Amino acid sequence: MSDNESLTPRVFIIRHGETEWAKLGRQTGKTDIGLTVLGAAQVHSAASHLVGKGRLLDPNKLARIFVSPRKRAQDTLAGLLGDHLHGLREWGVEVTTTEDVAEWDYGDYEGLLLSEIREGRKKRGLDGEGVVWNVWRDGCEGGEVKEQVTERLDRVISSIRDIQGPCMRGEKPADVLVVAHGVILRAFVMRWLGYPLEMPLNMMLAPGSVGVLSYKNNNVEEPAFHIGMALPVES
């Protein structure tokens, strides 16, 4: 990583650890379900390897945290930052709990498997031959459509750019942490790059995993994502 890149503010996106429904493949939106034992361990592992002074996610460089109100996200934030979280609040780092980064509202599809959703839609004549349900394009009956998700994510991204725009060369700490859910974070990446949600872009984000977004050329008008990022070198 060049010196310029090391100064450019970053956005860390963290998916909550495993839950029972995630393990089973059930669509989990508003249902407030906690982490499994493995899910908590995933978060602890991420914290032990990545969080700390001079590490990839350095609490001293954080300016803002956005977190979903769901328990699985709240517990992930607490497990990830541990004692750092209390210190950050004392130092004036705002921790914003907001529905704007809550999981996609699945409405009538809540708790269903992907196969069950597609079979039900076909029976109701919503999907024709060779057409299968795609949340990015079709949204959810009784839940959210892509326009609603786009609107709320764009609000968060606009707030982040306001924070980071004046700090493109390390003028002050400006990293941002977003702790949320698998589908909404993939949607977040799409909107960060300025793409419509329905544009095909296959992405994977495992439970407890970390993604990094930033900007090219120290320019807030050139949002980008790291497909590979060098870890900090210990001094």
**Mind telling me the catalytic residues?**
16, 103
The closest alpha carbon to 21, from 11, 35, 9, belongs to 35
| Gap between the Cα atoms of 72 and 64, Å rounded | 20
The answer to whether 29 is annotated as binding is: yes
User: First-to-last CA distance in the chain?
Assistant: 15
The residues pairing with 180 across neighbouring beta strands, listed in sequence order, are: 15
Provide the pairing of β-strand 62-67 with 11-15.
Answer: unpaired
Task: Give 198's contacts (C-beta < 8 A, 6+ positions apart).
Answer: 134, 136, 137, 146
The answer to whether 215 is annotated as binding is: no
The secondary structure of residue 176, as a DSSP letter, is E
The answer to whether 137 is annotated as binding is: no
Q: Which tokens in the block code for residue 129? A: 């031959």
DSSP string, 138-158: H--TTS--HHHHHHHHHHHHH
Angle at 115 between CA 110 and CA 119, to 5 degrees: 95
The answer to whether 104 is annotated as binding is: yes
The closest alpha carbon to 157, from 115, 102, 130, 194, belongs to 194
**Which is it for the CA torsion 44, 46, 50, 56, positive or negative?**
negative
Max Cα–Cα distance, the chain, nearest Å: 62
The answer to whether 103 is annotated as binding is: yes
Binding residue positions: 28-29, 72, 103-106
For the annotated binding site for substrate, the residues are: 28-29, 72, 103-106
